[in-house]
Structure 1
Amino acid sequence: MSEFINNREQLISENTERLSVLKQLFVDLHNGRNLDEVKAHFDAFIGKITVDEITRLQHDFVEEGSITADELQRIYKQHSVIFQGTIKEETHQNGRPEDQPGHPVHTFMLENQELGKLLTSSLQVHLAEFVMEDSTDNIYKLIEDINLLLDIDKHYSRKENLIFPYLEKYGIYGPTTNMWRIDDFIRDAIKDGRQKLTHYQGDKQAVVGVLNYVIQEVAGMIYKEENILFPMALKNLTEDEWVKIAHESDEIGFCLIAPAVEWKPERKALEEKAISEGYIKMETGILSLKQLELLLNHLPVDITFIDQDDVVRYFSHGKDRIFARTKAIIGRTVQNCHPPRSVHVVEELLADFKAGKKESEEFWIKFNDKYVYIRYFAVRDENGKYIGTLEFTQDINPIKAIEGEKRILN
């Protein structure tokens, strides 16, 4: 027994010493010590670091107030360089939740893969073309990339509003203090890049600077999430908490890609049946959620609803949709679902609806073998307040071909 106690005390002493060394390394960075020297010191005395140690360090600094929030953000940004490739892999019992399709972490990592592709296969390539020639076409390519990248707000919002509160429940405040600040810097930089491109006045260097910053910071955040945040969350959150996060994620929306499948833990479905069998009472009748969804999906038109803030909230999912839709557009502004050349048309239409100048608008176009009739309607409440826009899309070729009469008994 004494040997066990001695070993335990020795282990505690070693852990305390490691944390002390790690803390000193952060203080050295704060005091301006050369990054290479700090990394060499880390490699010599620490070698590998656990997610728990990183969390403990962040928590201690916040609690002590020995380093300001701004300085902590700078240090936090730099520590991914020091810890690159040194974070210990931790084995999870009962398999790896992040490998289960539909699990929130699995979805976050799928989104990170898509973000990585967007950075390397599109944004970096088009930025290099822009550097060579700042033509209108190259500017439009970058604007389209940025419009897609704006979707990252949904990724960050789910992280901040669904994962962070549970971590704080367990006394883990580092991500809230640091990651959220970096997320906001990234959001602002993306919007700044879009603004500079949309109103481009020939300042090529300013565009290149902000987009390079965006590429660097987004890539860095992907690393921080997958090597620090997600392992930390998987270690602390319960299955019930992950189920709640998965259920609430739809309300915020997804980034570039929707979950592979709906995640259903083997242990229980968390009242899924009761939720799916709920009823909605309307002025002219009562329908179950299932009946309502089937009804909308069986209409001979495609429906999309955009709320008062121009955010896509719903689309019907019939078997023969004219224009493809994925769940990734839910939560995205409608402007970012259109190419730059046609955004002004959308904005003018919505402005007229909001101002009460129009109640509807219609267009008709040839699309593949279809003759597509597109109608937009302003949706208003009983007091005339604008609450959104409803889009109806229909192939009218079969209707145009109608001749003569067909009695119902025929």
Structure 2
Amino acid sequence: MSEIINNREQQPIKNTERLAILKQLFVDLHHGRNLDEIKAHFDAFIGKITVDEITQIQHDFVEEGSISADEFQHIYQQHTSIFQGAIEENTHQNSRPEDQPGHPVHTFKLENQEIDNLLTTRLQVHVEEFASEESAEHIFQLIEDINLLLDIDKHYSRKENLIFPYLEKYGIFGPTTNMWRIDDFIRDAIKDARQKLANYHGDKQAVLAVLNYVIQEVAGMIYKEENILFPMALNNFTEDEWVKIGHESDEIGFCLIDSAAVWKPERNALEDKAISEGYIQMETGILSLKQLELLLNHLPVDITFIDQDDVVRYFSHGKERIFARTKAVIGRTVQNCHPPRSVHVVEELLSDFKSGKKDCEDFWIKFKDKYVYIRYFAVRDENGKYIGTLEFTQNIDPIQAIEGEKRILF
């Protein structure tokens, strides 16, 4: 299995002795050795260091399982004074924005390193131990590994909601359907593995089958992303689009890393586009655009509107959204904002609205710690013509907890 997991191309090491010294310096920093001694050793034996060398060292530590990518970044950020003025810029680095911390591809690859590390140094090892002895300890270790791997949903969600929409803009639809479908298979398999382990009754072969499937498919997806998806995106997306993707990544979150750095392109960051403060006159009042936006964002519900052509045109952006939304969905068809396996439900609902068969549809589900009430309304003009669909989402837990009365006292 290791040949599947470690099938990504290794970066060549040109100076083994030099890199060995650099790695030892980072190990000493990790163990809290005297900083003055480390600084003196660095100045005497290294002097200058390139970004490529830093990347190579981090890659080696992650492959060895001795220092994670997150720990490495923490060490580096804590002790930048040691490397002050010693980092050499190079043409290769400057020509590859995706190698710069904070660039979305750089963040995706950092996550892949952590995922790969979890597969190779923990999950695969514990699977082999469980295969030899199905003890309670080995089962518990596997449950811990699977709970960590559940975080992969954030990685896949950013890919699906931020990368795929821009690919579609350039007429590239393959990853949207194929990769998303595999992502869902992986999500389901991870949940299935957790359920089988949590309720283990001796079905050893079934557990091993699903765990080995998870390892193989996750490793395969890492390869597909880094050798197909990311190069495809890098060849098509503009710098502005990468900036937008980076800005919206926080909305979904990150996988097995705390956060991502802020990417600052070589040119100046995008100029802020000021929103016009013109006034909008409606039948029952007049509001400025700013007032209207603030009003909608302060509603204790989430709303999303798609037009008559099924294109997402607007969503409110309150402080506590129930379901994550990113600006990348604006201008995208609602069908492509849902997993392929649930598109038929969306199509059926919209068909009923457009035909006039229905004017609304309600759903209610348990989601994390919330009880969510989801309502869909067909929006029609004064002549009954279908204009679009409004999605209305609300956490009704606090409402259901209400008892008695609370009156306004005058």
> What TM-score do you get using the length of structure 1 for normalisation?
0.46
> What TM-score do you get using the length of structure 2 for normalisation?
0.46
